[in-house]
Amino acid sequence: MSQTSVKTVIIEEFGGPEVMKLAEREVGEPGPGEIRIRHKACGLNFIDVYQRTGLYPLQLPTPLGMEAAGVVEAVGEGVTHLKPGDRAAYASMPPGSYCEARVMPAAQVCPLPDGISFEEGAAMMLKGLTVQYLFRRTTPIAKGDTVLFHAAAGGVGLIACQWARSEGITLIGTAGTDEKCALAKENGATHVINYRTENFEEKVKEITGGAGVDVVMDSIGKDTFEGSTNCLKPFGMMITFGNASGKVPPVDVGMLAAKGSIKLTRPTLFTHIADHATCQQMAQDLFEKVTSGAVKIHIDQRFPLDRVADAHRALEARQTTGATILEV
């Protein structure tokens, strides 16, 4: 068995950005259903922070990172959708993308079209597939519907703004600065709200003439949950898909009736992509949006792998816009 030593970011305890360490690890040959991939770039996402802090506990020690793009070096028995030399990208369990190369399950690794760069691939898979399931797989959303989207200038948000514009969906985006609001507007948000200077709940009612929105897509969590549910039309759908401000407290389900028979769901990307064929089809849907020009992937921050702690600090401080990548 050939083995190669590669740089890999690991944690041995939960905590702040300082717990991440750059270690040398051996990478061998892929087994059945696996590939070995040499990374060109790695993505950064809030789930990485949740795993680092222990909000989403992992067995320690563990590598971190859920998203990357690179070149397939070897494939194991039974892998038919990839071959050595293929360009590929993924957002996938288990964690371990913050590295130069790795052996991993092949099912959720997707062939990357030539028209999409490795950097774009690393920046778009987790965020873009999240947008795909939010707009295509969670609740019916049609042209003319109105969506409230929090953190509209972030990596997921900028893709969502463009996706909504490409499908004739009215998107009301919130962000924490006037500059971020302007960025969301440039990328397709129909209306923007600076939640630090305006009450987003009141502003949504004003924008919609008191009707409210059909769907809320909320990755902020605790700080925006109650106000978001107040923004929904009767029978509207509240999608809470992240915890940037902390976990949503326990919910009295009677609240759903009191606010107009509204619906509530807490999806995760990894449930949606667990099936190989579904994952590949979702990726094709995303790739078509990007290669057609309907969605542009904004990479606004780049950090070398050995500065991953600085990247996490910037993300947690909400100092980032668009996507952030780690250069390998």
- Give residue limits of the domains in the chain: 4-126+270-327, 139-266
Tokens 């490795």 belong to: 118
pLDDT, mean of residues 47-69: 95
pLDDT, mean of residues 164-191: 97
Domain 139-266 bears CATH identifier 3.40.50.720: yes
Tokens 């302007």 belong to: 182
Cα–Cα distance for residue pair 287/295, rounded to 1 Å: 9
Q: Do domains 4-126+270-327 and 139-266 have the same CATH topology?
A: no
Give the pLDDT of residue 1.
41
Taking the whole predicted model, whether its pTM rises above 0.85 is answered as yes
pLDDT, mean of residues 50-75: 96
The β-bridge relationship of strands 4-11 and 191-194 is unpaired
Give the model confidence (pLDDT) of 234-266 as tens digits. 999 999 998 888 889 999 999 999 999 999 999
Cα–Cα distance for residue pair 58/47, rounded to 1 Å: 12
Give the model confidence (pLDDT) of 187-237 as tens digits. 999 999 999 999 999 999 999 999 999 999 999 999 999 999 999 999 999
User: Dihedral angle at the C-alpha atoms of 140, 145, 150, 154, nearest 10 degrees?
Assistant: 80
The fold for domain 4-126+270-327 equals Quinone Oxidoreductase; Chain A, domain 1 (3.90.180)
